[in-house]
Structure 1
Amino acid sequence: MTLTFAASKYAPAPAAAKPRGKRSVRRTLTGWAFAGPATVIVVGLSLFPAVWAFFISRTKWNGIAQPQDIGWANYERLAQDPDLAAAAQHTLFLTVLFVPGSIALGLLLAIALNRRIRFIGFYRTCIFVPYVASAAATGILAGYVFNPQFGLANEALRQVGLPAQQFLESPRQALIVVCIVALWGEVGFTSVVYLAALQDVPKELIEAATVDGAGRWRVLRSVTLPQLRPVTLFATVWQTITALQLFDLIYTTTRGGPMNSTQTVVYYVYELAFQTRRLGYGAAVAYILFAVTLLLTALVLWRGRRSGEETF
């Protein structure tokens, strides 16, 4: 008892615990010290230009002279612009072709690549390489491939006895060819996404369906595809945004021609702002495109959540 009392008497007092409030503030400041610079850059390069563009859309400005405030006149002119209506039709046509095509091709390629065969890594790399390649390089390559005079596409048609086509120089064919080139460049993304999702499908479900007598097609339709619905929703939203904002491929292949047959809304905004110097009206068209993109994305997400598919 005496020794215990003496030890406790002369033992050093325990250090006082730091207040939780100070530790929480220190952690918060440390986190913002790392994330703050990146946040400032992102806000400065995205949010500020978007707000500034809204004020520009309410003016008449050529980028040099003093802008004139004209209120909502630019937005009122949108409904009476035949060039914008034609560009919207081209964008809608491209979206209708591109989005289902990229999803269907991506799913088929993912199913084909989801097997244990020799050189499977090489095949997967070949599918994904066009996606990471520069869109400018893709457009320049497409210009050579689909050239009506000496392109490889017409050479292949001649070899099988079919007549040569005009491709990018035909107002009826140019937008379809642009869609094909866009699919070639973007299908690698949906393939990789579906391939990752296929590898996460529970094998127990597939084995149970097989034991019950279901064939490959029945397993794919009744087991695999329902498990891929959230991924399909994500791919639909992503590819819709990609189609609505497609610019670089059109710029490097057709420049909106021939006869404005491939002029999309984004390329029309480019012409308004940087060629005809109608910055105010171009900003108004860009904001309408942003509103349409946001509305379509919200509708797809609402439909997915109503079906019980949480993707984002």
Structure 2
Amino acid sequence: MPRARSAETRTAYAFLSPTVLLLGLFVFVPLGWALLISLQHTNGFGEGGFVGLRNYGRLLTDARFWRAAANTVLFTVLVTPLSMLLGLGVALLLDSALPLRALFRSVLILPMAVSGVATALTGLLVFDQDRGIVNAGLRSLGLHAVHWQSGGVAAFVSVVVVTLWWRVGFNMLIYLTGLQALDPLLQEAAALDGAGWWQRLRHVTVPLLAPSTGFLVVINVIYSFQVFDIVFVMTGGGPGDATSVLVTYAYETGFSQRDQGYGAAIGVVLLVLTLAFTAVQWRASRGGDVES
């Protein structure tokens, strides 16, 4: 028995070793290097000088950092619940006897097949303030065009709308999978007890979709914290930092201003925030599972 267990252990390690090696090479080593760089003052791509926690101290008095952090939080607060609500609504429609369900499902999932850069370029075709489809439509109706790139609020709205178009299909797919896994007898029992559609949705369907909801909250918040490509392509963080988020600010600091130490410090702070939220959400979901 001990020999068999030892052989199973060696086999398990053999299967795990490629994954552990790849994680170490492409995740843990870069993270450690970023943490090391965040403790240095750099000016270009040469060797930096060790400054300890001075880069993190700069964050406390950096107005642009706090503006980017506030924009990141606002983006997360808007995109996460809206994309999840829209995804749930569409999933409920596709789970019912809706005509052409397969076609609608394919159309909604289609944005998931393209990259964020391609999505942002498509968004520019729609929201470009000079030649975009939206402004062309407004002008044809005799209305004033919207300054999608030069107006702060309008630029932020355009980024949110394009992100919703990109994210709703993924949320819909997860919710639709959860809906199709539910026992239909529960809905029938609630209907026999006199529960209407809204009551069944609120007291039966939504609580049973709690695992899907918990998963989507974590995934959408992590994505929102790390959003880069759509913002970078559509607005570049402008105008006047109106759409600047933490990742675009870290990129600008590290690669445009060549201050890699400070840019790495911003990235480390973002990593800590993401891990903290994930840990809190994980503990909350585990607590809910234990109580249930």
TM tier, smaller: over 0.9
Distance of 1:239 and 1:309 partners within structure 2: 24
**Are the aligned partners of 1:182 and 1:249 in contact in 2 as well (CA < 8 Å)?**
yes
The equivalent position to 2:178 in structure 1, one of 197, 219, 222, is: 197
Q: Which residue of 2 aligns with 1:253?
A: 234
Moved more, 43-52 or 111-120: 111-120
Q: Which residue of 1 aligns with 2:222?
A: 241
Unmatched runs of 5 consecutive residues or more in structure 1: 1-19
Q: Which amino acid aligns with 1:204?
A: L
Q: Given the alignment of the two structures, is residue 86 of structure 1 paired with residue 67 of structure 2, yes or no? A: yes
Unmatched runs of 5 consecutive residues or more in structure 2: none
**Are the aligned partners of 1:131 and 1:187 in contact in 2 as well (CA < 8 Å)?**
no
Distance of 1:248 and 1:106 partners within structure 2: 22
Q: Given the alignment of the two structures, is residue 25 of structure 1 paired with residue 6 of structure 2, yes or no? A: yes
Percent identity, aligned pairs only?
35
Task: Report how far residue 165 of structure 1 moved.
Answer: 0.9
Moved more, 73-82 or 162-171: 162-171
Q: Which residue of 2 aligns with 1:154?
A: 135
Q: Which residue of 2 aligns with 1:5?
A: none
Q: Given the alignment of the two structures, is residue 170 of structure 1 paired with residue 151 of structure 2, yes or no? A: yes
Distance of 1:87 and 1:116 partners within structure 2: 44
Q: Given the alignment of the two structures, is residue 69 of structure 1 paired with residue 83 of structure 2, yes or no? A: no
What are the residue-to-residue correspondences of 1:1-312 with 2, within 5 Å?
20-159=1-140, 162-308=143-289
Which protein has the larger Cα radius of gyration, Structure 1 or Structure 2? 1
Distance of 2:279 and 2:23 partners within structure 1: 23
Secondary structure at the counterpart of residue 218 of structure 1: helix
Secondary structure at the counterpart of residue 153 of structure 2: coil
Q: Which amino acid aligns with 2:166?
A: G
Distance of 2:113 and 2:146 partners within structure 1: 29
Aligned residues: 291
Distance of 1:172 and 1:244 partners within structure 2: 19
Distance of 1:149 and 1:52 partners within structure 2: 43
**Are the aligned partners of 1:230 and 1:309 in contact in 2 as well (CA < 8 Å)?**
no
The structure showing larger relative contact order (alpha-carbon pairs under 8 Å, at least 6 residues apart) is 2
**Are the aligned partners of 1:168 and 1:174 in contact in 2 as well (CA < 8 Å)?**
yes
Q: TM-score, normalising length from structure 1?
A: 0.88
Deviation string 1:137-164 (CA, Å, 9 cap, x unpaired) is: 1111111111122211123334555432
**Are the aligned partners of 1:53 and 1:283 in contact in 2 as well (CA < 8 Å)?**
yes
Task: Report how far residue 233 of structure 1 moved.
Answer: 1.4
